[in-house]
Structure 1
């Protein structure tokens, strides 16, 4: 009757407070498909409360479902090894500051599960994750091959999860090693070899990633799993389907996915929903690394599109809950008859879904979904930090402290250099990164004209302490991937085409060594004038040397594939660290660059009369 580990069951049972199951919340059945007159996408229950303890719908059992089986799903997504990350979160248009840290996340998950246990006398709780648990991570996870993150997930009793794109960062085999607690290779760093290797006890479920060689899921992962829940002497089954984004080839190196195929998300969900239906499973939960976002009552994104497609090809599907991920946004809505939810990223929030299954039909009777912030101890002192998980984080920090805490530079102010892009797409820390890459090319005797990097590869603001110190760990968090920097040769026209393609590909670039003027909005944006930093117009026929990372060079999404490589530098991580160290040695402080590299056109001058026109239209 349980979905928890035996140890956690004992801990929760010891906290059980006998309560009478009384009446309460009214019928909150899920919305029906568009054929019933209900909009395809509709708002879910509003998220007005800071914790599940305050949620009105979670205070008492619903009398009308007293013969049904209560269930709870606690979910996270996009942890990204953010063991002790804290920051800001927007949930239902409300801003929360200082949220995050896995030890606080653990405390809230336990709190929510204890509440469910008290109200329903039930252990039918499932802890789920929707991918990107590792990758693009701070040093206290990445320097230890992300094994501290695996330890934290184990301590938090996560049972089921799916793959995100970042699980492929070091190859799926390496992710499977840390998932299962295998020993590292002979070439691993000594600090990794000394770290304890333990299995997470978490089962990976992925339906649409299959080996090209035989069409099977890799490493024995299952396309779906079935779990039985019980209450009142009755039982029912829940099916869990795992989904990877089909955008995977645009998000990792070809060598990391060359052996696999990623099948259509909606078609795969429909396929396994029907299979589960044949097995008598009428309640289905999807964990999918596809994004959604809710803002001012409106929800959109790939996950919404996928569910709409599922409803077209499988209108009688039994998908009641869809855990979204990948876009790092808040989402809580109803798509057709399915509740969709997403809890930001990096331990800043979690989602709590509670409801009932009718044991006669096997279907969800009702589900209620909410997203809550992971508040700091200062903002919520009554919720005590989980000591076990906190010890895991402190131990990881201790093991890498010598490297992380080394001061490598001095900032102009004590304020962090922000990651957020302005309305023109200029990120202060992103532009500092590419400035450093141009500097490094010149320092290595391989001068380049421009440097371009993908905004998605710049993962954090640059944190500065009260003495204006910049540490190695702070710099590493900005550029954690370790992508190799290459110098390629491009014509001026190819540079313009790449600048244009960032808009049609929805993959913004940070630029150094050039400035440009643009017109239009969204995917219709077009570059109309490009100059070097000194104001010299770009010559469309001339050849220029451009620094990019090898991820950009192998990714057709950005338009650099096939350009000749004429030089190489170190990894982007090492180059950024070295740049800060060199500025320190030269007695220079680090400051945010002036945002003057991308300028909207301010007049109605026809595009064809401007310097770089005509510009070829990039592929979609």
Structure 2
């Protein structure tokens, strides 16, 4: 129960509390004389609510409580192989509160998906969401992977049955299917769902996408604005009995205090984006829950609501799904991995607790998608030498990142004649960012044969191969941006850099405070193809379109000139490279 609800509960038991509450209100209003408790109650029932806070009292004729169950997933990313587990968990949640359960998503339902869904433009995932009965989702950044037009016209097509929510995005012709909120009336209560997307959207998508979508206000400010509107007592502009937020941002964004904090009108927040399992509280005390990613986990909560509108009292309680679902380390989040095949499911279904319509539909969707993907994805596009390994590692540049960087470099050399002609005088460097590599190992089954499925699963985002011209100084700045501050300490996010580059880094003494920039390191002894690079030298940087437009906060790439994109996916660049370099050996 949050702070707002605690005050409401006290209203039922303490006459002195009524006096204190009116006294507190009078600090921003004219003083109120209190001749009797009945007069106080009458006054409080007619006072206009303080902006940013629902009234903290009950109507005299409060009805009995009603309970509505919310079941949330986030960052599913087209992992349809786990869709039957999610379907089973939603069915169990429905059986917990028949006719009064609402499934929701906190964003990134599609995009960055495994091959079975991605190879079919995530249509299998959208069909699966219909089978689940999921009709409400926040907008995530990966819904925009194929562009704003693709989102608005295809993903958000009403035929898919999903209301897409994003209160902090401007509604234009290009985004006219986005909504600030929706209200569902369930069990006699109006539940409002407000959506918002991370304020850092520009850092996790490309400028070409940002040209078509505008964030007009911070996510928290937009949520508070809509929550106030839905709690002002004015039925003509929407009114809710409980407010649930679907925020596609790390849970910590919802726990800030002061002017950056969510107000008392919010009863529950489901967060996402960081793929974490975590919980917290808003500044006003409402629960904040982030339920992992890829369909492995689900958050399920009961909202018990007494009263209506701004007079409603809302309490939030976690639900234990049971039936084979296991607890995670975070209260309110259940692990549903393997749930569809759990031995308890057979007994649960045979007892008639729920039908398996959604589950059987998901099984058919997965089977159909796998057959379609197998026909296309089994094509062998390259080979690697026995014992070679191209995968991700921690705390160092990975062989996988270097391989992809080499592929981006070679694609530019092969496809851009004027770059190839300048190669003798202007060196070309390749880059890749860790976030663009979606699997841990290129050769997923270890057979030495690289298939189209393995490449497209690893390079699953909708980036193009691109290039930009940098000075040597700008190149050093980009390399230096691998070292950053996080939570008061220096962390390294390694780039993949093509194998023709060598450099050293020297940590700066941050205690002196005399630097004219925010770098943590100096890049020294930088060479390309064995040649030392000076600050005034010209270099061509090749990489994916997201990274070279400043993605993942590598803003130094934006300092370059003559940015160009090829009409070639960054995955195709690796396919071409594998064709030209059979039996690849690991870097030494």
TM-score (norm 2): 0.72
Match among 65, 68, 71 for residue 65 of structure 2: 68
Cα 1:407–1:373 change in 2 (3 A) is: farther
Equivalent residue number for residue 204 of structure 1: 164
Equivalent residue number for residue 370 of structure 1: 332
Match among 385, 393, 401 for residue 374 of structure 2: 401
Equivalent residue number for residue 525 of structure 1: 520
Equivalent residue number for residue 219 of structure 2: 265
Equivalent residue number for residue 113 of structure 1: 94
SS of the aligned residue for 2:376 comes to helix
Q: Does 1:350 align with 2:322?
A: no
Q: How does 1:316-335 map to 2 (within 5 A)?
A: 317-335=264-282
Q: Does 1:223 align with 2:180?
A: yes
Match among 474, 478, 486 for residue 494 of structure 1: 474
SS of the aligned residue for 2:103 comes to strand
Cα 1:329–1:34 change in 2 (3 A) is: farther
Equivalent residue number for residue 172 of structure 1: 148
Q: How does 1:428-447 map to 2 (within 5 A)?
A: 428-443=399-414, 446=420, 447=423
Equivalent residue number for residue 302 of structure 1: 253
Within 2, Cα distance between the matches of 1:472 and 1:378? Answer: 30
Match among 422, 432, 442 for residue 394 of structure 2: 422
Equivalent residue number for residue 459 of structure 2: 479
Match among 432, 447, 450 for residue 453 of structure 1: 432
Q: Does 1:138 align with 2:114?
A: yes
Within 2, Cα distance between the matches of 1:319 and 1:539? Answer: 55
Please identify, of 267-276 and 570-579, the stretch whose mean Cα deviation from structure 2 is larger. 570-579
Shift of 1:442: 4.7
Within 2, Cα distance between the matches of 1:428 and 1:108? Answer: 39
Equivalent residue number for residue 237 of structure 1: 190
Within 2, Cα distance between the matches of 1:450 and 1:123? Answer: 59
Match among 521, 525, 537 for residue 542 of structure 1: 537
* Residues 163 and 182 in structure 2, CA contact (< 8 A), matched pair in contact too: no
Shift of 1:282: 4.5
| Alignment length (residue pairs) | 475
Segments of structure 1 that go 5 or more residues without pairing to the other structure are 1-28, 36-65, 85-100, 183-198, 293-300, 595-620
RMSD: 3.4
Please identify, of 332-341 and 252-261, the stretch whose mean Cα deviation from structure 2 is larger. 252-261
SS of the aligned residue for 1:494 comes to helix
Deviation sequence 1:189-232 (CA, Å, 0-9, x none): xxxxxxxxxx221212221111468xxx93243212222232xx
Within 2, Cα distance between the matches of 1:432 and 1:454? Answer: 12
Within 2, Cα distance between the matches of 1:566 and 1:287? Answer: 36
Within 2, Cα distance between the matches of 1:581 and 1:31? Answer: 62
Shift of 1:410: 3.2
Deviation sequence 1:31-67 (CA, Å, 0-9, x none): 67999xxxxxxxxxxxxxxxxxxxxxxxxxxxxxx95
Cα 1:583–1:357 change in 2 (3 A) is: same
Equivalent residue number for residue 572 of structure 1: 570
Shift of 1:413: 5.9
Cα 1:30–1:527 change in 2 (3 A) is: same
Q: Does 1:104 align with 2:85?
A: yes
Cα 1:346–1:529 change in 2 (3 A) is: same
Within 1, Cα distance between the matches of 2:65 and 2:6? Answer: 27
SS of the aligned residue for 2:161 comes to coil
Match among 225, 231, 249 for residue 290 of structure 1: 249
Question: Which structure has greater helix proportion?
Answer: 2
Shift of 1:422: 1.5
Deviation sequence 1:281-315 (CA, Å, 0-9, x none): 342110011113xxxxxxxx33433x66454xx64
* Residues 411 and 464 in structure 1, CA contact (< 8 A), matched pair in contact too: no
Q: Does 1:390 align with 2:363?
A: yes
Equivalent residue number for residue 288 of structure 2: 340
Q: Name the larger-Rg structure.
A: 2
Equivalent residue number for residue 13 of structure 2: none
Deviation sequence 1:358-405 (CA, Å, 0-9, x none): 236423123325222232369834347922112112212222322211
Within 1, Cα distance between the matches of 2:585 and 2:305? Answer: 57
Within 2, Cα distance between the matches of 1:139 and 1:157? Answer: 24
Equivalent residue number for residue 278 of structure 1: 232
Segments of structure 2 that go 5 or more residues without pairing to the other structure are 8-62, 234-238, 319-330, 347-355, 487-492, 511-517
* Residues 486 and 565 in structure 1, CA contact (< 8 A), matched pair in contact too: no
Shift of 1:138: 2.5
SS of the aligned residue for 1:560 comes to helix
Shift of 1:159: 2.0
Cα 1:303–1:501 change in 2 (3 A) is: farther
Cα 1:250–1:154 change in 2 (3 A) is: same
Shift of 1:536: 5.4
SS of the aligned residue for 2:190 comes to strand
SS of the aligned residue for 1:161 comes to strand
Shift of 1:530: 4.3
Q: How does 1:24-173 map to 2 (within 5 A)?
A: 29-30=1-2, 67-84=64-81, 101-114=82-95, 116-117=96-97, 122-173=98-149
Cα 1:500–1:31 change in 2 (3 A) is: farther
